[in-house]
Structure 1
Amino acid sequence: MPYNIAMASDFFYPQPGGVESHIYQLSSKLIDRGHKVIIITHAYGDRTGVRYLTNGLKVYYVPFFVIYRESTFPTVFSFFPIFRNIIIREKIDIVHGHASLSSLCHEAILHARTMGLKTCFTDHSLFGFADAASILTNKLLKFTLSDVDHCICVSHTCKENTVLRAALDPSTVSVIPNAVVAENFRPDPTAASPDTITIVVISRLFYNKGTDLLVAAIPRICELHPSVRFIIGGSGPKAIDLEQMLETNMLQDWVELLGPIRHEAVRDVMIRGHIYLHPSLTEAFGTVIVEAASCGLYVVCTRVGGIPEVLPSHMTMFAKPEEDDLVAATSKAIHALRHGRVRTDKFHEQVKQMYSWTDVAARTERVYDHITKSRNLSLLERLKRYYGCGVWAGKLFCLCVIVDYLLWVALCYWFSEDKIDIARSWPKKRRRGMLEEKDAVRNRGKRAKR
């Protein structure tokens, strides 16, 4: 049964990243499977309004104020009129939110449940339980997931983390990993220099991505292995620390800083290297290391979060998230490549067999089939769930839901559905016609044989 699906998240193209790539690839494959998919995100610069991407994927860039790392300012209720208009225009059945730090995602799920729609949430990150930011994020996540139909996590470690943070029943959480389009990350043995070992790093330059570890490890690795070269791509607040490290240690000839890289250019950078270094401090999955392995790079990464689940041991060299261990692991990887103990030429075909977006879309579709069979909760049943979120937080959450419900009633009264134009769907080839054409060709072949 085809569904009309709305993907909601603050994080989408033109910003590069794992969540952005996940939403785009999953949406494209769901469209290939016969579903209608739209994306709701915030405006990026002058990219506002409605845009169409490949395969008829429609994106709504809603103009909202961004406060931090492309997350919008949480308004709770002001998004509802626009959201309701989009949902009715596109005849949406399922709202699928992505990322714990996306205000747009949380608000979309709340409003969708108020409108009686089915909802799903995908968590892409790991969070702690002690610092103030994690405590607030976890409480917000508990509020949102108290009334969601199903939750998806990208790794088993991510599932354990999400279940604990949001106090969920583990049976309502599925694990569906990320994937890569292996054809877009083909290796090219002639692109890398045969005289030196080149280490590639492509990452957002933030603390949680291990940029401080990278800053400390690069001078030591260059001292131990003078013939090694680094290529670093990415941007962020920690970029200034990398530049200062290069100035202090005079490593400009050893380290090439590329700045921000568009996703379609990632493969061209990766094939110039032999080793991919991933010093992240926390990671739910790590799509970039799969892309690196597909390009034929030996991966050196920290043993944190869901990273150990991603690739087999012969493709990776693990290290503790510590400076000394990261330097030691990188040195071992360099020696292994120099002595021919690692066959990176077979990595691409192996990754191609392990990960497929078609498989991810099929598994996500089964989640949609499951949630569409469940019954919708009444307002009283929803309030009971929210009330159990805490002594004070539970009462505040119930108040938010009641106000949201009253706002929905007001919107239905003042702006009835018959006043909203229904959007035309992107034209598709009729599958029936294609099958009839195949049958005709088959019948002509049989007659020719006779």
Structure 2
Amino acid sequence: MSHRTYNIAMVSDFFFPQPGGVESHIYQLATKLVDRGHKIIIVTHAYEDRKGIRYLTNGIKVYHVPFAVIYRSATFPTVFSFFPLFRNIMIREQIEIVHGHASLSSLCHEALLHARTMGLRTVFTDHSLYGFADAASILTNKLLKFTLSDVDHIICVSHTCKENTVLRAALDPLMVSVIPNAVVSENFRPLNYPAEPPAPGAAFKQTPPAHQLGSNDPITIVVISRLFYNKGIDLLTASIPRILENHPNTRFVIAGSGPKAIDLEQMIEQNVLQDKVEMLGPVRHDQVRDIMVCGHIYLHPSLTEAFGTVIVEAASCGLYVVCTAVGGIPEVLPGHMTVFANPEEESIVTAMGKAIAALRANKVRTERFHDQVKAMYSWDNIAKRTERVYRGITGDISESEFYGYDERNAAEWSATRGRSGVRSFALIDRLKRYYGCGVWAGKLFCLCVVIDYLIFLFCEWWWPRDRIDIAADWPRKQLQSDDEDEKA
């Protein structure tokens, strides 16, 4: 089978220069897909001095569209005003597949709606977990149900995330694949792997590696996180004084920014811990490894997490991980690399005590973690699995191969499920899917789709496609062999 390539647009409010897991995921996935011969563009909002079009490594083109940011880098939802600009970009770049990321990204939801109206294939990747009871979650889930009613396929970063998304958006589980995050293990090497001097400007002078700690050597605990409530910063603030009281020969390095930073600073002042806790503030992603290798334990007290890429990065750097057993975190690393705690102050203090005791007794072989993580997580593998989704939704592989059912059951399958992978673009079929989203919501969703379609027809008349210049493509890379592609 020949290796077909696609023109793909990744759309999300969350992208570089803002640091974060979603941002890193989009960039790394895009880079590996370019290596496999695909054309990738990224559509996000403007970031301060980053406006218009930028080019990144491998010729990835980034469109920074001028929309107002309202909260945590998410743009103000406009529903329809993005459509003319979005249509222009899709036609200029000859896009075939639109891949949206993140449930709270307004640009993502709007792009998926407009893409279906334009007759483009769509994929959505969910990176987060949300509840069902509070007002914000109810509204988010209703919006997600609207968007995903007409998306060709959904990707989740963990099995827990898949269960959460299927319930929130009332999806057929067969339309949802689990493809985890990964790390570039070469960028997260332990100190002296291979032999190298400590990074200049490190937060603390490096003490012996975790597997060589003596009974009196100080232990450094690293925390790198956005300082928000859902990241468990309240638990961290309450736990640090108790951990330092129980284990005087320890110290903390905390990197990140957010509204909870003031709580940590007040805790440090009240307990006079300036010589034990250092807050580094916001850091770039390329600085994360230099901070991590100065420590021995990584503490991740999150209250909810779909995957937790940072704990994989920490393990790759040779740190012993203490984390809360919430969301998809228990799926990420094997038990010998982690100590799990409940999302409670007492449990975190106890888990940290176990981790420190294990390191003091040299019971944990952290020097082996890097090679083990390297074998478990690879962006090349993630790109191949994502490419298989693209091939499934475009019909380039058979339905039976994509969904894994026997051809002999094809008639029964079609009678009960229909063609989930390749959905009809016909307006009446789309309206049927949206109408089932609720007694009142279904009617509102149908109205939005009809208005979107009328705007599309107007744009086709007012600004014909033949008047839109086609952008020149960056030279595409060629795969050396299609053998791995066939096995993906």
TM surpasses 0.5: yes
CA shift, 1:429, in A, is: 5.7
- Of structures 1 and 2, the one scoring higher in RCO (CA 8 A, sep 6+) is 2
Deviation string, structure 1 residues 271-322 (Cα, Å, up to 9, x no partner): 0000000000000000000000000000000000000000000000000000
Match of 1:49 in 2: 52
Deviations along 1:130-155, whole A, 9 cap, x unmatched?
00000000000000000000000000
Q: Which residue of 2 aligns with 1:150?
A: 153
> Which residue number in structure 1 is paired with residue 141 of structure 2?
138
In structure 2, the partner of 1:440 is: none
CA distance in 1: counterparts of 2:51 and 2:470, whole angstroms: 20
Q: Does 1:324 align with 2:346?
A: yes
CA distance in 2, matches of 1:316, 1:375: 42
Q: Aligned partners of 2:331 and 2:423: how far apart in 1?
A: 35
TM-score by length of 2: 0.88
| Amino acid in the other structure paired with 2:437 | C
List alignment gaps of at least 5 residues for structure 1: 436-450
* Displaced runs of 4 or more, over 6 A: none
CA contact (8 A) 1:37 1:58 kept: yes
Q: Which residue does 2:429 correspond to in 1?
A: 381
Q: Does the CA contact (< 8 Å) of 2:126 and 2:154 recur in 1? A: yes
Please say which of residues 167-176 and 387-396 is displaced more in the overlay. 387-396
Structure 1 counterpart of 2:389: 367
TM-fit CA distance, 1:428:
3.8
Specify which of 203, 218, 222 is matched with residue 196 of structure 1.
Answer: 218
Identity, % of aligned positions:
75
Distance 2:305 2:46 in 1: 27
Amino acid at match of 1:307: I
Contact 2:179 2:386 in 1 (8 A): yes
Q: Say whether 1:78 aligns with 2:81.
A: yes
Contact 1:116 1:376 in 2 (8 A): no
Tell me which residue corresponds to 2:130.
127
CA offsets per residue over residues 86-136 of structure 1, 9 Å max, x none?
A: 000000000000000000000000000000100000000000000000000
User: What do residues 151-201 of structure 1 show as CA deviations (whole Å, max 9, x unaligned)?
Assistant: 000000000000000000000000000000000000005743133100000
Which residue of the other structure, out of 116, 119, 125, is the alignment partner of 2:119?
116
Give the CA deviation at 1:430. Answer: 6.3
Aligned to 1:59, the other structure's residue is in SS state strand
**Residue type of the alignment partner of 2:448:** C
> Residue type of the partner of 1:308?
P
CA 1:256–1:369: 2 relative to 1, 3 Å: same
C-alpha RMSD of the superposition: 1.1
Please state whether the residue corresponding to 2:18 is helix, strand or coil.
Answer: coil
Question: How many Å apart are 1:391 and its aligned residue?
Answer: 1.0
TM-superposed deviation, 1:46: 1.4
Structure 2: give runs of 5+ residues left out of the alignment: 199-205, 209-216, 396-421, 482-488
- SS of 1:34's equivalent in the other structure is coil
The residue matched to 2:221 in structure 1 has which SS? Answer: strand
User: Counterparts of 2:50 and 2:6 in 1: how far apart (Å)?
Assistant: 27
Q: Does 1:274 align with 2:296?
A: yes
Q: Distance in 1 between matches of 2:360 and 2:67?
A: 52
Q: How many residues align?
A: 433
Q: AA paired with 2:364?
A: V
Counterpart of 2:233?
A: 211
SS of equivalent residue, structure 1 residue 119? strand
User: Match for residue 365 of structure 2?
Assistant: 343
* Residue type of the alignment partner of 2:186: E
Give the counterpart letter for 1:356 in structure 2: S
Partner of 1:443: none
Question: What SS does the corresponding residue of 2:458 show, helix, strand or coil?
Answer: helix
Q: Residue by residue, what CA displacement relative to the aligned partner does 1:235-281 show, whole Å, maximum 9, x if unpaired?
A: 00000000000000000100010000100010000000000000000
- Are 1:412 and 2:460 counterparts? yes
Pick from 8, 13, 20 the counterpart of residue 10 of structure 1. Answer: 13
Q: 2:255 aligns with which of 233, 258, 261?
A: 233
CA distance, structure 2, for counterparts of residue 79 and residue 98 of structure 1: 17
> How big is each residue's C-alpha offset from its partner over 1:394-441, in whole Å with a ceiling of 9 and x where there is no partner?
11111000000000000000000011000001124667xx89xxxxxx
Specify whether residues 377 and 273 from structure 1 end up closer, same or farther in structure 2 by C-alpha distance, changes over 3 A only.
same
> In the alignment, what sits opposite 2:398?
none
Q: Matched residues in 1 for 2:393 and 2:446: separation? A: 24
